[in-house]
Amino acid sequence: EVQLVESGGGLVQPGRSLRLSCTASEFTFGDYAMSWVRQAPGKGLEWVGFIRSKAYGGTTEYAASVKGRFTISRDDSKSIAYLQMNNLKTEDTAVYYCNGGADAETYWGQGTLVTVSS
Amino acid sequence: QSVLTQPPSASGTPGQWVIISCSGGSLNIGSDYVYWYQQLPGTAPRLLIYKNNQRPLGVPDRFSGSKSGTSASLAISGLRSEDEADYYCAAWDASLSAWVFGGGTKLTVL
Taking only the tens place, the pLDDT of each residue in A80-91 is 999 999 999 999
What is the Cα–Cα distance from B32 to B37, expressed in whole angstroms? 17
Residue A99's beta-bridge partner residues?
Answer: A35, A108
| Pairing between β-strand A10-12 and β-strand A112-116 as defined by DSSP bridges | parallel
> In terms of CA atoms, which chain A residue is nearest residue B55?
A104
> In terms of CA atoms, which chain A residue is nearest residue B33?
A103
- Cα A37–A59–A92 angle (5° rounding)? 30
Nearest CA among A48, A50, A55, A41 for reference residue A95: A41
Which residue in A44, A63, A108 is closest to B44 by CB distance? A108
Taking only the tens place, the pLDDT of each residue in A3-22 is 999 999 999 999 999 999 99
Verify whether the Cβ–Cβ distance B57 to A104 is below 8 Å. yes
Q: Where are the beta strands (DSSP E) in chain A?
A: 3-7, 10-12, 18-25, 34-39, 45-51, 60-62, 70-75, 80-85, 94-102, 105-108, 112-116
Taking only the tens place, the pLDDT of each residue in B9-50 is 999 999 999 999 999 999 999 999 999 999 999 999 999 999
Q: Which amino acid is at B64?
A: S
Percent of chain A predicted with pLDDT > 90: 94
Chain A residues whose beta carbon lies within 8 Å of the beta carbon of residue B101: 44-47
Chain A residues whose beta carbon lies within 8 Å of the beta carbon of residue B37: 45
- Residues whose CB falls within 8 Å of the CB of residue A34, separated by 6 or more in sequence, listed in order: A22, A50, A51, A72, A74, A81, A98, A99, A100
Verify whether the Cβ–Cβ distance A45 to B56 is below 8 Å. no
